[in-house]
Amino acid sequence: MYIKEDALNYHLGGKISVEPTKNMDSSSDLSLAYSPGVAEPCLEIAKNEDLAYTYTTKANLVAIVSDGSAVLGLGNIGPSASKPVMEGKACLFKKFANVNAFDLEINAHSIEEIVTFCKFLAPSVGGINLEDIAAPKCFEIEAALQDLGIPVMHDDQHGTAIISTAGLMNAMELSGKKFKDIKVVISGAGAAGVASARMYRNLGVENIILVDSKGVINKERKDLNSYKLEFVSDTKDKTLKEALKGADVFLGLSAPKILDDEMILSMAKDPVIFALANPVPEVMPEDVIRLRKDAIIGTGRSDYPNQINNVLGFPFIFRGALDVRATKITENMKIAAAKALADLAKLPVSNEVKKAYNLSNLEFGREYVIPKPFDERVKAIVSTAVASAAVKDKVARIANFNEKEYFESLK
């Protein structure tokens, strides 16, 4: 934990900077870096626009674009107040995947304005990470940018979906359940909730119940937008308590401490409870353990097992997409990332990772269904899976992709 003064001091002056990657020590260097030498790559790119990936930073540059309308749990605090978060995101891109990222907080809030801004921005960057943009407009913005020619992803939607899917894959393996047979209840029908429901459905989950602040999304509701209508249930249940009876999986993306003892006890055998409200989850893990020794529990916090942390996804998804010059991020690329994370959790864990988390033992099981962010293997394994999926989906611009060589280069 931290105190306010420590947090403010940490952020003094911002958290990112720009440094030249080439020598700038002589008049000769200056003549190459700028006029007249800079004209040569300009002329080459003018003849072949793809050479921007060769002669500029485009091949390793992501723009983090936000209007500040849905920042963490802080709500609509505006673009300026969102800047510390976006700078932090840029730091994570660099730290975990060596991707350069610039944060761009924009004073534009309509779908049309944000889409137009991103279209104007596209020639400068290799990818766009949409961040902290409120639902439902975030769905329309992302969809409108899929033919931009560079990968565009709204991480608030897909990050949680991908990481929780990895955990769910392993949880189902441990419990011996099949996706088509389980009942999933999702509390929170915003960007992450809808994206998670879509990914679970793609895996074969048929019984998904979404719950928003007004109750269960069922056929009796007349106040639903088109995205919630995708998951209208036939159930007569109206409340979260009713919906949770017999549920195999609870995904919480809503509010702190909304699950009580009765609700936990009403769930099916070997329940999966991913309570991701931060910093206080929908139910504290110790309260679940007190009632259900058979539960698999995950939170968004680093001080409990099975942290569902988006940093396991977005840096490496963009790393793989950038390295094959993908034109978009497909559903198969997201599923590939989730499966790679699920598979990694089954491998022996290094002593370095155990030491980073002050653990003497860490192996696949109920308390370890999702890899740790500081596992040094995540970059190579997830990025390679994403890059390979892009090639298979024919959205990669590069030719002659060698999966083994690429994997080795990232190690």
Q: Report how far apart, in Å, the C-alpha atoms of 106 and of each of 68, 120, 362 are.
A: 8, 13, 43
CB 396 within 8 A of CB 329: no
Among residues 2, 4, 22, 34, which one is catalytic?
A: 34
CA distance 384 to 406: 7
Retrieve residue 41's tokens. 């790559």
Phi-psi region of 246 (alpha: psi -120 to 50; beta: other; left: phi over 0): left
* Cis upstream peptide for 315 (omega within 30°): no
Rg (CA), the chain: 22
Length of the chain, in residues: 411
The neighbour count for residue 6, using CB atoms within 10 Å, is 10
Give the ranges where 48-136 is alpha helix by DSSP (H). Answer: 52-55, 79-97, 111-121
Q: Please indicate if the annotation marks 131 as binding a ligand.
A: yes
Spell out a b/e string for 203-240, using b for 16 or more CB atoms within 10 Å of the CB, else e: eebebbbbbbeeebbbeebeebeebbeebbbebebeeb
Q: Please indicate if the annotation marks 132 as binding a ligand.
A: yes
Active site residue 200: no
Q: Please indicate if the annotation marks 278 as binding a ligand.
A: yes
Active site residue 58: no
CA distance 63 to 344: 29
Among residues 58, 83, 89, 379, which one is catalytic?
A: 89
CA distance 128 to 102: 10
The neighbour count for residue 107, using CB atoms within 10 Å, is 10
Q: What angle do CA 383, 388, 391 make, to 5 degrees?
A: 130
CB 162 within 8 A of CB 313: yes
Q: In what order do the strands lie in the sheet with 100-105?
A: 100-105, 61-66, 127-130, 152-154
**φ, ψ at 332 (rounded to 5°):** -65, -35
Q: Please indicate if the annotation marks 309 as binding a ligand.
A: yes
Residue 310 is given by DSSP the state: G
Residues facing residue 211 across a β-bridge = 187, 216
CB 218 within 8 A of CB 232: yes
List binding-site positions for (S)-malate: 278, 309
List binding-site positions: 131-132, 156, 278, 309
Residues marked active site are found at 34, 89
List binding-site positions for a divalent metal cation: 131-132, 156
